[in-house]
Chain A
């Protein structure tokens, strides 16, 4: 069945460092791909999405490109801030309608 695999955390970076969180997926067909972010004590928030191959989603300085050839959707940011500390979830929308399949989440901690 469809699945999502993320790099394990926690990831600890210094402020202004470059961030990459790897995400790969297994799916039939052409799913949509998403990144969600969860700040402490809050629900998940949609960060960005891409609906077809080669699409790039972007928001708040974060980017991810839908790579069908490598079945990947890696999250990147050029310069992280302390306020980016959170748990990041990669997800795919299966083609059976509505349901999202989430990865296990990657905790990011940014130190001043």
Chain B
């Protein structure tokens, strides 16, 4: 298995633009998680899905953030409009319940 695949690896965008981050989980995993990592706040859980259904989105910072999982092999995290304070590394991870996560390599987002 190729692991959890995220794209793009790096994204630089201007304030106010829409940003879409993509994630392909490991086949057969039933959970998918989106995290944000910054120096100030560390790792923050934004949202997670179980069998494609959003379970907990309480970590999504604002209405500007949205996430979807249309099928078991694909998820997106969208920021619209983006702001400089959204600059961070965004990680996607997938798991089978109780087995620990497999993380993707992350998307480094810079909003200028």
Q: Which residues of A contact B (CB under 8 A)?
A: 32, 34, 36, 42-46, 49, 51, 89, 93, 97-100, 102, 104-105
Residues of chain B within 8 A of A36, CB atoms compared = 101, 103
Determine if B50 and A100 form an interchain contact, defined as CB atoms under 8 angstroms apart: no
Q: Chain A's interface: helix, strand, loop or mixed, by majority?
A: strand
Contact A93 B106 (CB under 8 A): no
The minimal Cβ–Cβ distance linking A33 to chain B, given in whole angstroms, is: 10
Query: B89-112 toward A: CB 8 Å interface, digit per residue (1/0)?
Result: 001010101101111111000000
Q: Does B48 contact A (CB under 8 A)?
A: yes
Q: How far apart sit A41 and B91, CA to CA, in the bound complex (Å)?
A: 12
Residues in chain B near residue A32, CB distance under 8 A: 98, 100
Q: Tell me the smallest distance from the CB of B59 to a CB of chain A, in Å.
A: 10
The reply to whether A43 and B106 contact each other, CB–CB distance below 8 Å, is: yes
* A43 close to B42 (CB less than 8 A): no
| Known pairs A32-B100, A43-B104 / 18 extra A-B pairs, C-beta < 8 Å | A32-B98, A42-B106, A43-B4, A43-B93, A43-B105, A43-B106, A44-B91, A44-B93, A46-B102, A49-B100, A98-B30, A98-B31, A98-B48, A99-B31, A99-B45, A99-B48, A100-B33, A104-B42
Q: B105, A42: Cβ atoms under 8 Å?
A: yes
CA distance A93 to B100 in the complex (A): 8
Q: Give the distance in Å from the alpha carbon of A51 to the alpha carbon of B43 in the complex.
A: 23
Compute how far the CA of A49 lies from the CA of B95 in the bound complex, rounded to whole angstroms.
14
Contact size range, B? 20 to 34
Residues on B facing A (Cβ under 8 Å):
4, 30-31, 33, 42-43, 45, 48, 50, 55-56, 91, 93, 95, 97-98, 100-106
- Tell me the nearest residue of chain A to B9, going by C-beta: A41
Bound Cα distance from A34 to B31, whole angstroms: 17
B46 to chain A, nearest CB (A): 12
Residues in A with CB closer than 8 Å to B4 are 43
Is B43 a contact of A102 with CB atoms below 8 Å? yes
Closest to B49 in A: A98
Residues of B within 8 A of A104 (CB): 42
